[in-house]
Amino acid sequence: MASGKIGAAAAGTWTLGDLTVNRVGFGAMRLPQRGPAFAPEAIPGDRDQAIKVLRRAVELGVNHVDTAAFYFSSLRSANELINTALSPYPDDLVIATKVGPGRDPSGEWLSLASPVQLRGQVEENLRQLGCDCLDLVNLRMSGLDSIAENFGALAQLRDAGLIRHLGVSNARPEHLAQAQAIAPVVCVQNSYGLGHRPQQDQLLRACGEQGVAFVPFFAIAGAGREAGPSGAEHEDVLAIARARQATPAQIRLAWALQRGPHVLVIPGTGDLDHLADNIAAAALRLAPEDLARLEAIHQDG
Ligand SMILES: NC(=O)c1ccc[n+]([C@@H]2O[C@H](COP(=O)([O-])OP(=O)(O)OC[C@H]3O[C@@H](n4cnc5c(N)ncnc54)[C@H](OP(=O)(O)O)[C@@H]3O)[C@@H](O)[C@H]2O)c1
């Protein structure tokens, strides 16, 4: 594919509340370090390179950037890099952040934030991103049976004007229902990809039926998670990639986009060529026979 020329708009748009985004976005977790995020020995990423990647993403039409205050290495913070690279922010840029988990300044994980602590996490994101209102905040509260109290705290911050829209992350169907009983939910951000957590298919479909965006993370990395794509690529993915003159990562992104018009991908990379490839996947349309082959891989998990 002609990576580098195709823009993020080629896959169309979706509306998060009153904010319209291109369906191919960008995840900033990879920028603060080289190699896996959160590794204690992680080597800080190159600052100028990270800024180039962010600016290039926006030049290529990305207007949905995912981040978190807990995305940092010893010397780099994803939020600070976004602020430096992209502010003053373009009017159409939607920056989605997430709260719930936290790390102390040395990088150690803290216990999940309480409702009171969530306000501090929202304010931390506001300070780092340099804005007065966060476009979209996802509550990531895996492990809780009820997220009502925590989501209620965020709904209050939304009412107070600190947050425009709310989402949930690492959510089970009952979490979505609990949150929706409190305030509108514009997205579910969960771990999902080709052959990775096929049991999420039902929630993905339910989101589409309700007009809620489904935002998969690890759509390329899959089970490799923070470590990135693991092991050998599946033979059928390689064959389809060859036939389409695309890369396996592009096939994975195109497959995710074709799961529904409400699916928004946020591939993460610190590499300019990978960035161009990922955005170019916006124009790739897999044929029914490709999708049938990929479905078999997906259901095998
Ligand atoms: N809500 C949550 O709990 C949660 C959890 C994790 C992540 N996230 C968000 O989701 C975003 C996406 O997740 P992710 O960044 O881990 O996963 P991903 O986009 O599925 O995969 C990123 C990995 O794939 C590699 N890669 C990216 N593009 C490639 C390409 N075109 N060809 C070959 N390899 C490629 C990257 O390495 P290179 O840097 O070398 O390209 C990196 O190792 C994150 O950035 C973050 O914003 C959210």
Q: Is the CB of 25 under 6 A from ligand 1?
A: no
Supply the pTM of this predicted model: 0.97
Distance between CA atoms of residues 85 and 82, nearest Å: 5
In this structure, how many other beta carbons lie within 10 angstroms of the beta carbon of residue 1?
18
Residue to substitute in 269, 272, 273 for testing ligand 1 pocket (most ligand atoms within 8 angstroms of CB):
269
Nearest to 251 by CA among 265, 237, 269: 237
Is residue 44 a contact partner of residue 76, using CB atoms and an 8 Å limit? Answer: yes
Ligand 1 near 33 CB (within 6 A): no
Does ligand 1 lie within 6 Å of residue 268's CB atom? Answer: yes
Q: Are strands 19-22 and 64-66 parallel, antiparallel or unpaired?
A: unpaired
Mean pLDDT for each 10-residue chunk of the chain (301 residues)? 82 98 98 91 94 98 98 97 98 98 95 96 98 98 92 98 98 97 98 96 98 98 85 92 97 98 98 98 98 95 75
Closest residue by CA, ligand 1 atom 45: 27
| Residue 98, amino acid | K
Q: How far apart are CA 160 and CA 225, in angstroms?
A: 35
167 ligand 1 Cβ < 6 A: no
**Is any atom of ligand 1 closer than 6 Å to the C-beta of 35?**
no
Do 168 and 138 form a contact (C-beta atoms < 8 A)?
A: yes
> What is the DSSP secondary structure assignment for residue 20, as one 8-state letter?
E
Q: Which residues are catalytic?
A: 71
Supply 157's token pair: 């911050």
CA of 270 to the centre of ligand 1 (A): 9
Contact 47, 114 (CB under 8 A): no
CB-ligand 1 contact for 97 (6 Å cutoff): no
> Which of 56, 144, 190, 218 most suits a substitution to test ligand 1, by most atoms within 8 Å of the C-beta?
218
CA distances in angstroms from 56 to 63, 69, 86, listed in the order given: 11, 22, 10
Distance CA 241, CA 36 (A): 26
Hey, whose CA ends up nearest to atom 17 of ligand 1? 218
Q: Which of 235, 231, 229, 272 is nearest to 253 (CA)?
A: 229
Ligand 1 nearest atom to the CA of residue 274, by list position: 31
Percentages helix, strand, coil for the chain, rounded to the nearest 5?
40, 20, 40
Q: Is 240 exposed, middle or buried (0-12, 13-18, 19+ CB in 10 A)?
A: buried
Residue nearest to atom 41 of ligand 1 (CA): 269
Q: What is the pLDDT of residue 1?
A: 65
Six-digit token pair at 49? 């390179």
The number of C-alpha atoms within 13 Å of 6 and in the hemisphere containing its C-beta is 19
The answer to whether the CB of 4 is under 6 A from ligand 1 is: no
How far is Cα 233 from Cα 5, in angstroms, rounded to an integer? 26
As a whole number of angstroms, the distance between CA 112 and CA 100 comes to: 6
Residues linked to residue 26 through DSSP beta bridges, in sequence order = 65
Q: Which of 30, 138, 188, 251 to mutate to test the pocket of ligand 1 (most atoms within 8 A of CB)?
A: 30
The C-alpha atoms of residue 145 and residue 29 are separated, in whole angstroms, by 27
Closest CA to 281 of 298, 293, 264: 264
Cβ-contact 24, 281 below 8 angstroms: yes
Say yes or no: CB of residue 66 within 6 Å of ligand 1.
Answer: yes
Would you say 42 and 73 are in contact if contact means Cβ atoms under 8 Å apart?
yes
